[in-house]
Amino acid sequence: MKRRKSKPPAALESRSFHPWRPHPWHGISTGKKPPSLVNAYIEITPIDGIKYEIDKQTGYLKVDRPQLSSALPPALYGFIPRTYCGKKVGALSGKAKRGDGDPLDICVLSERPITRSEVLVPVRVIGGFRMVDRGEADDKIIAVLDNDPYWTSVKDLSKLPRVLSQRLEHYFLTYKLMPGQSPAQIDEKYGRRSAEAVIRAAMEDYQETFPLSLSNLAQ
DSSP 47: T
**DSSP 8-state class, residue 23:** P
Contacts of 101 (CB under 8 A, 6+ apart): 84, 85, 86, 136
Q: What is the pLDDT of residues 112-154, one digit of tens each?
A: 999 999 999 999 999 999 998 888 999 999 999 999 999 999 9
DSSP notation for 101-160: SSPPEEEEE-SS----SS-EEEEEEEEEEEEEETTEE--EEEEEETT-GGGTT--SGGGS
pLDDT reported for residue 38 = 98
List Cβ neighbours of 93 (8 Å cut-off, separation of 6 or more): 130, 132, 137, 139, 187
Looking at the structure, give the CATH architecture of the domain made up of residues 21-213: Alpha-Beta Complex (3.90)
Q: Quick check: 51 pLDDT over 50?
A: yes
Percent above pLDDT 70 for the chain: 86
Domain ranges for the chain = 21-213
How high is the pLDDT of residue 219?
44
Q: What is the pTM (predicted TM-score) of this model? A: 0.88
Cβ atoms 173, 139 nearer than 8 A? no
How many CA atoms within 13 Å lie on the side-chain side of 72?
A: 9
